[in-house]
Structure 1
Amino acid sequence: MINKILTKVFGSSNDRYLRQLRPLISRINDLEKEIGVMGDGDLKAKTVEFKERIAKGESLDDLLPEAFAVVREAGKRVLGERHYDVQLVGGIVLHQGRIAEMKTGEGKTLTSTLPVYLNGLGGRGVHVVTVNDYLAKRDSEWMGEVYNFLGMSCGKIVHGLDDRERKDAYGADITYGTNNEFGFDYLRDNMKFEKADFCQRDFNFAIVDEVDSILIDEARTPLIISGPADISTDLYVNVDRTIPQFKNDLHYTVDEKSRQVSLTDEGVALGEKLLNVDNLYDPANIEKLHHLNQALKAHVIFKKDVDYIVHNNQVVIVDEFTGRTMEGRRFSDGLHQALEAKEKVTIEKENQTLASITFQNYFRMYEKLAGMTGTADTEAAEFKKIYDLDVVVMPTNQPMVRDDYADVIYKNEAAKYRAVIKEILEMHNSGRPVLVGTISIDVSEKISKLLKKEKLAHEVLNAKHHEREAEIIAGAGQLGRVTIATNMAGRGTDIKLGEGVVEAGGLHILGTSRHESRRIDNQLRGRAGRQGDPGSSRFFLSLEDDLLRIFGSDRITGIMDKLGMEEDEPIEHSMISRAIENAQRKVEGHNFDIRKHLLEYDDVMNKQREIIYQQRRDVLAGESVAEVIQDMFDELVDEVAQEFYQDRIDAKEWDWDGFSARMGELFHHVPDWSEEERTGLKADTFREKIHDFVTEKYRQQDDTNGAETQRQLEKLILLQIVDSHWKDHLLSMDHLKEGIGLRGYGQKNPLNEYKREGFELFGSMIHTVKAQTVSSLMRVRIVHEDEVERLEQERRRKQEEESRRMSQLGADGRDGESQPIVRTGEKIGRNAPCPCGSGKKYKRCCGKEN
């Protein structure tokens, strides 16, 4: 109550912040006349002047009024568009590292040119992040005219570019690209073997367009680069054949809220019978149990033409937020293969993670981050907690005059669809264009069939027609036009009203159901009423809609029954609207928890990833890694000395056989010390003796291979071993994460257990890297002088092939697949005797070197 009174007297914090910017807007406007009389050459020369002033120590904040005035004038001359005052405010908000919530049609793309130009003057690069390749290409070419006019370079990162093209684009003052491309380029760079091959440079400043879509909606799925694991696909087919025999409630239960399926005791017994196993929970059968759970999920939870489509003999994911197909992306953990078995298409192998990062941790690497969208305020708390970003709600340039009608609710879907068609026909007959929003492909096609029966011409935009997305959306405001869009695909394209539409009443938005997120509904609604245009919106719901059915429509059904309402009679009541909004809040909170949970686990991996990637960069940046290698030798010498030194025991009684084996394993050489040399050894002298022996043997390696060649080998071998074990470590961490939730049953915090065991796994990996690097360097022999060069060329060839493969998006949501390893010769088991005849196990001998 007190807060409401204070807000009325002093205004909200948002209002107070906007008032603080007024003097700055006045200064920019005062410069307009002065800048306006400059010739094109003088205007372009301002860029050089600004850069010189920055070099002398002037801050970007000091330059802001002049820089913004220069960009405004360039926009008028090049694009014929002048920045409104509210766009100047938006530019300041973005420059200060905040999120600007600007209504649809307010000109976010033009607004971004102001902070992009200003921050690009520092020469460290500015990234503008968009949701798809079309917008990255369009905006870089469209706004690029302004930057080029002012003497700034502009590049774009889109799918299909090679490394040279990417490096050129990142080298520009301003770079446009999609969130996926930026993230994958970061992962790919950190898998390369030459610093000169890196495409990206500093993470200086990024502006994220449609920031809610990228940093909230897409943040539930990490970016992953993976390669196929060595697992047969036959099991997926065998398990899929059994699924028709499982019955709901008898053999399994469904939790629609969490989208999970659980086997009952009867289901487990049936599974054991059908798969011919005694106990599904026996460790030997865990894989079959996992496949059975995923197959059930594929059949019961995941619906064709809602969650995915089948196209060109492939299962293609449909983005639940935009309705777009996600070509090349795959569900993880065998779910995608289960869907492929269900749909009887070719089953691709499961993948092993080679590199991964979440969008949260990727974008938090930028020194300054900003964003813009039409809908961010409902997620302001998450933006602040995860990204430390404040949301500023911008005023509109023209007053908003759109009529937002109350929701209408019907008893069942059939009645709802009859009412939807009736309203579309009424609006069409009055000449008003109608944009119909649906939450899935099958609903959009159902509406389309009903309209065809009425012989009403219309356009359908969903994942099956996304190639014409911009064209369809751009024409949705023409007189009498009817457009059906799934989840408001086509964001980023303005709907401008055609001739006679304003007089008819403007664009009408018709929602066929409520989305689980209020933001998605607001995005749909926001397509009407741009720049003061007239328009209206209404949502049609039924008690059979998922949102109402899952989150409690019993009370509402009871009210409708008591009132004796007919099937085609709608209900409109504020209580109903509040119930729907509360349901949406619950789902939003649940999704926030999922994203927070993902981030907490990725933070563990992020610390490890930073250490490995920084180590790789240090190795690649330096001429030599001799100091790093020497530290490894010293640590291993200390380890051996501590392991075999025994105080108060005669040195003759020490475990000299164990010592010899350990020295041979680590350093490939065993000291042949006489009994006299072994007598009276103290801790320090024992360590020094080992150190001198190892140092001398390694010096002999320099003599054998050549000092210069050995330095090259140190770099090459270290990187190869680090990369190999990092991939294995990622797989181990994946397996750890899969089972860690069970620790909760033992009254242990799964996250704390994951941190503890993840730390132990990482420590073990680091030790193994050191031991194998030293061991390999002590053994390596160069037969021919050109051998190092040949190895380097072979490595670069493989890396280029892998880079090309990685540029194709692949498994687990978003990633690039690498080719399976082709084995030559017979496979040797890790515990089998080594074929070299040493008598050791393969894993302890040649297998370790491999």
Structure 2
Amino acid sequence: MLGFGTIAKKVFGTPNDRQIKSARPIVEKVNALEAEFQALTDEGLIEKTKALSERAKAGEALDSLLPEAFANCREGARRALGLRAFDTQLMGGIFLHRGNIAEMKTGEGKTLVATFPAYLNALSGEGVHIVTVNDYLAKRDAEWMSKVYNALGMTCGVVYPQQPDEEKQAAYACDVTYATNNELGFDYLRDNMKSDLGQMYQRAHNFAIVDEVDSILIDEARTPLIISGPAQDRSELYQTIDKLIPELTEEHYTLDEKTKNATFTDEGNEFLEENLHVRGILPEEQSLYDPESTTIVHHVNQGLKAHKLFEKDKDYIVRDNEIVLIDEFTGRMMSGRRLSDGLHQAIEAKEGCDIQPENVTLASVTFQNYFRLYNKLGGMTGTALTEAEEFDEIYKLGVVEIPTNRPIARKDDHDQVFRTAREKFDGVVKSIKKANDKQQPVLVGTTSIEKSEFLSKLLDEAGIKHNVLNARQHEQEAQIVADAGKLGAVTIATNMAGRGTDIQLGGNVEMRVLQALAETPGADPEETRTRIEAEVAEEKEKVKEAGGLFVLATERHESRRIDNQLRGRSGRQGDPGRSSFFLSLEDDLMRIFGSERLDAVLSKLGMAEGEAIVHPWVNKSLERAQAKVEGRNFDIRKQLLKFDDVMNDQRKVIFSQRREVMESEDLAETVGDMRHEVIDDLVAQYMPPRSYADQWDTEGMYAATLERIGLDAPVMAWAGEEGVDDDVMRERLEAAADEFMAKKAVAFGTENMRNIEKQFLLQTIDEKWREHLLTLEHLRSVVGFRGYAQRDPLNEYKTEAFQLFEGMLDSLRTDVTKKLGQVRPMTPEEQEAMIAQFKAQQEALAADRSEVDSTPSAAGAFEPAEGFDENDPTAFAGVGRNDLCPCGSGKKFKHCHGKI
């Protein structure tokens, strides 16, 4: 018997069906306008853009402009690229414009889809950002799609790291700007560290379209973007602790692979305390449980994590004596990204790399809070439905599944589960060989570099020719992916999320043409293209006969989305294909999330060596395990966000205040109000309301006024006059302070004084915000323990963070007033003395250079210290790690006799 929900769906359709239905009339309107727009000249398309833009700026709703804008954009793309958008692509564009996520399968042309809503929303003149997962895709898409925007009379720019300032500002000023999520976030933080409006990059946050939206807004949202500066060098501590970790035994610690956490047992703490005393890291009288030991305990914990939870070639690789992290979701190297809280330094010590100093946070933002700045947000991906709840709850984004242009013809096999990893890989190699014998292209998905290289060895032994795509082959990725659909190709890929290059059966025409023209520069491009198109078409038919692309996954990921992304590489645009997952009970997901029951079932079934179990029930239980992991990860992200929201509210206040300061021409009134508030506080402190004159501390008040305002006021004389109370004192001090600052403004010149006020205010805001961020980090690390006292850590954090913020604003007023009170113009004599000192320094530098040049050899310039004996330990007493070594080598001590 059918349930009520099932009957309702049959009668009314699913919510997704209703959404699709609502967009069809709009698509029909766009199609009806096609002939009219085809009749326009190239100039006519540009004139149409100007007319639409004027209507948008005059206040006409974008929804009413949509049919004409989409028709104009479709015609522009047809002329510029030779691509006529399908109805399903227009539909994707409609839902992006409405602020939804358009789930579109691989090969449905998402790059072109983004141009429609981008063009429509750019008509308002406020700019549109298109967000990609890496710099290669940002540059490629901007170069490719700029032809469409240019044909329509719009500008298009691209933002990338280390870009010259003028170029970056010009890119942000364009109608449409392509950029990576990282660069957009960092530029937002950099803008809010600038001291001049003219140096800022970003305009208003109007509309953003996020490509690979699940990867950017979910997978990468776990780590905030941080701009930091160097702190003190602690290399020695990391290296000493690193030598201690291998001495630990399993009884000294416990690991939790689910949460990637490691903790010491009581035995471990005793062992550590004893050894840290011996090595001189922990003072003899100090225990690990003392508050003073917090830093050491923290670093020892990070050392344990580095050794036990981070694997080389899976979580990171060592390249050029540097630790480069690997993104677990895309398998890409994340150059420049570092783990925080000293964990990266612990891994550097473990691998014997140079240890970079830890950093202090100057500014930070999470992707969740950055992307929520936009007035409207849209996203595209092949896999979003599994995370629909999170998109809705955090970003208010709905997910709409767009139908494919042609029906999917791919066959998805049930999972095959083997007892051991060895049996599984034997099965994988047999399956690849079987497909390869009939020339069917195979794409093999693995979860780590280590496993991809292990499988590569097995295929070499079996004599199967193949390509490997992982973080080490990062540069050749587009070429490897483009060739993966050729007849007989076997490609091993660490991950297939957001590769940006389609796997086309028979090969990628564009890549083949570029390659051919690079090899023979004098060849005729048209002739070359025609020849290659014919070759690819012929090969494509052969591949189809062989069964299309066979996607074979060697493991399931924690996230179903990643599995679906891999699966979706096969069967694009109605092509035939097949997908299959090979698993074993030794896989991470199976091992961590309860394979005991499954192992017991397999034992009862009495499975033979090398035999696999294939059943829909197994698929269901695996999906449940994945759903549990995803749910837990969502809870972690939600909790992180709740804490970050507290900081985000404060960040918005500080950043908006900075902007107001930069936009103001005259801040005299603002700093005057600050000065008066400081005076209010002084009077309240030293002349409490409703107190008698003999209870006033006028001497303390005089000293505080001189220190905090720079004002030498006759406070004690005033206090002795008849009828003077706290209100009279406040008025007199305010009048005297205002007169004192007015005279200062005359001495400096009014314009100079306004500039000084602006710079002091900005510098002090930045200093205070940096200190506040550090305080919040420390508060966050300890507030979790309040849970043991039956108090909600989040509420505790909110309350204390608010108190800290109010305290920061009070000290901001005091510091600005104090700095402005102390600043004074230089006398002519002081100016002359400063110029003379500068000249003397320059002459001394020039003399030093000529002396160095005249020395016979660099080696002879250094001599051992008098009475130096390298066998005497006292010879190195008191030498700093960055001082020159007393042996006379000319090297720093840490690189010579102090090398650990």
Q: TM-score, normalised by structure 1?
A: 0.91
Counterpart code for 1:45: E
* Alignment deviations for residues 275-317 of structure 1 (CA, whole Å, 9 cap, x no partner): 1145211122221111111111111111111111111101110
Q: Equivalent residue of 1:566, what SS?
A: coil
Change over 3 Å in CA distance of 1:115–1:646 after alignment to 2: closer
Alignment of 1:32-181 (within 5 A): 32-181=34-183
Q: Which moved more, 1:229-238 or 1:334-343?
A: 229-238
What is the distance in 2 between the residues matched to 1:553 and 1:423?
24
1:489 offset after TM fit, Å?
5.0
Aligned to 1:415: 423
What is the distance in 2 between the residues matched to 1:93 and 1:335?
42
1:639 offset after TM fit, Å?
1.3
1:575 offset after TM fit, Å?
2.2
Counterpart code for 2:732: K
Aligned to 1:806: none
Match of 1:286 among 291, 294, 312: 294
Aligned to 2:19: 17
1:649 offset after TM fit, Å?
4.4
What is the distance in 2 between the residues matched to 1:647 and 1:755?
32
Counterpart code for 1:377: L
Counterpart code for 1:256: E
1:490 offset after TM fit, Å?
5.4
Aligned to 1:807: none
Q: Equivalent residue of 1:674, what SS?
A: helix
1:729 offset after TM fit, Å?
1.1
What is the distance in 1 between the residues matched to 2:689 and 2:580?
85
Runs of 4+ in 1 over 6 A off after TM superposition: 784-787
| Counterpart contact for 1:651–1:680, Cα < 8 Å | no
Change over 3 Å in CA distance of 1:292–1:36 after alignment to 2: same
Q: Which moved more, 1:38-47 or 1:475-484?
A: 38-47
Q: Equivalent residue of 1:129, what SS?
A: strand
Change over 3 Å in CA distance of 1:490–1:391 after alignment to 2: closer
Asked whether 1:758 is paired with 2:801, we answer yes
Aligned to 2:659: 617
Counterpart code for 2:642: E
What is the distance in 1 between the residues matched to 2:356 and 2:757?
38
Q: Which moved more, 1:19-28 or 1:367-376?
A: 19-28
What is the distance in 1 between the residues matched to 2:174 and 2:827?
43
Aligned to 1:694: 737
Alignment of 1:364-379 (within 5 A): 364-379=372-387
Aligned to 2:609: 567
Counterpart code for 1:567: E
Change over 3 Å in CA distance of 1:784–1:512 after alignment to 2: farther
1:137 offset after TM fit, Å?
0.6
Structure 1 unaligned regions, length at least 5: 795-826, 828-850
Alignment of 1:667-816 (within 5 A): 667-672=709-714, 673-674=716-717, 677-783=720-826
Q: Which moved more, 1:463-472 or 1:687-696?
A: 687-696
What is the distance in 2 between the residues matched to 1:650 and 1:539?
85
| Counterpart contact for 1:195–1:620, Cα < 8 Å | yes
1:274 offset after TM fit, Å?
1.1
What is the distance in 1 between the residues matched to 2:330 and 2:735?
65
Change over 3 Å in CA distance of 1:653–1:40 after alignment to 2: closer
* Alignment deviations for residues 5-48 of structure 1 (CA, whole Å, 9 cap, x no partner): 21111100110111111111111111111111222221222111
Aligned to 2:633: 591
Counterpart code for 1:505: G
What is the distance in 1 between the residues matched to 2:736 and 2:48?
66
Change over 3 Å in CA distance of 1:654–1:212 after alignment to 2: same
What is the distance in 1 between the residues matched to 2:413 and 2:827?
81
What is the distance in 2 between the residues matched to 1:573 and 1:80?
46
Aligned to 2:458: 450
| Counterpart contact for 2:131–2:180, Cα < 8 Å | yes
Counterpart code for 2:796: E
Change over 3 Å in CA distance of 1:314–1:683 after alignment to 2: same
Counterpart code for 2:393: K
| Counterpart contact for 1:407–1:539, Cα < 8 Å | yes
What is the distance in 1 between the residues matched to 2:813 and 2:101?
45
Asked whether 1:641 is paired with 2:642, we answer no
Counterpart code for 1:67: A
| Counterpart contact for 1:725–1:769, Cα < 8 Å | yes
Q: Equivalent residue of 1:527, what SS?
A: coil
| Counterpart contact for 1:131–1:214, Cα < 8 Å | yes
Counterpart code for 1:685: V
What is the distance in 1 between the residues matched to 2:57 and 2:294?
63
1:648 offset after TM fit, Å?
5.2
Q: Provide the aligned length of Structure 1 versus Structure 2.
A: 790
* Alignment deviations for residues 156-205 of structure 1 (CA, whole Å, 9 cap, x no partner): 00122022111000001100010001110000011011000001101001
1:76 offset after TM fit, Å?
1.4
Aligned to 1:220: 222
Asked whether 1:355 is paired with 2:363, we answer yes
What is the distance in 2 between the residues matched to 1:645 and 1:561?
85
Asked whether 1:321 is paired with 2:329, we answer yes
What is the distance in 2 between the residues matched to 1:12 and 1:489?
28
Q: Which moved more, 1:311-320 or 1:572-581?
A: 572-581
1:703 offset after TM fit, Å?
3.4
What is the distance in 2 between the residues matched to 1:615 and 1:313?
43
What is the distance in 1 between the residues matched to 2:821 and 2:212?
54
What is the distance in 2 between the residues matched to 1:331 and 1:566?
45
| Counterpart contact for 1:78–1:145, Cα < 8 Å | yes
Structure 2 unaligned regions, length at least 5: 507-538, 839-879, 881-900
| Counterpart contact for 2:262–2:305, Cα < 8 Å | yes
| Counterpart contact for 1:322–1:487, Cα < 8 Å | yes
Alignment of 1:483-494 (within 5 A): 483-488=491-496, 491-494=499-502
1:342 offset after TM fit, Å?
0.5
What is the distance in 2 between the residues matched to 1:676 and 1:96?
68
Asked whether 1:301 is paired with 2:303, we answer no
Change over 3 Å in CA distance of 1:415–1:638 after alignment to 2: same
Task: State the identity %.
Answer: 53
1:95 offset after TM fit, Å?
0.7
What is the distance in 2 between the residues matched to 1:675 and 1:695?
17
* Alignment deviations for residues 363-397 of structure 1 (CA, whole Å, 9 cap, x no partner): 00001100000000000000000000000001000
What is the distance in 1 between the residues matched to 2:122 and 2:738?
51
Q: Equivalent residue of 2:787, what SS?
A: helix
| Counterpart contact for 2:315–2:325, Cα < 8 Å | yes
Match of 1:199 among 173, 187, 201: 201
Change over 3 Å in CA distance of 1:541–1:711 after alignment to 2: same
1:749 offset after TM fit, Å?
1.0
| Counterpart contact for 1:645–1:686, Cα < 8 Å | no
Alignment of 1:398-477 (within 5 A): 398-477=406-485
What is the distance in 2 between the residues matched to 1:784 and 1:479?
83
1:756 offset after TM fit, Å?
1.1
Counterpart code for 2:248: F
What is the distance in 1 between the residues matched to 2:761 and 2:310?
45
Q: Equivalent residue of 2:409, what SS?
A: coil
| Counterpart contact for 1:229–1:350, Cα < 8 Å | yes
Q: TM-score, normalised by structure 2?
A: 0.86
Q: Equivalent residue of 1:325, what SS?
A: coil
Alignment of 1:307-346 (within 5 A): 307-346=315-354
Q: Equivalent residue of 1:541, what SS?
A: strand
Change over 3 Å in CA distance of 1:339–1:680 after alignment to 2: same
What is the distance in 2 between the residues matched to 1:463 and 1:510?
20
Aligned to 1:229: 231
Q: Equivalent residue of 2:184, what SS?
A: helix
| Counterpart contact for 1:651–1:678, Cα < 8 Å | no
What is the distance in 2 between the residues matched to 1:778 and 1:613?
25
* Alignment deviations for residues 516-550 of structure 1 (CA, whole Å, 9 cap, x no partner): 00000000000000000000000000000010111
Q: Equivalent residue of 1:671, what SS?
A: coil
| Counterpart contact for 1:436–1:484, Cα < 8 Å | yes
* Alignment deviations for residues 70-129 of structure 1 (CA, whole Å, 9 cap, x no partner): 111111111111110001111100111111000000011111111111111111101000
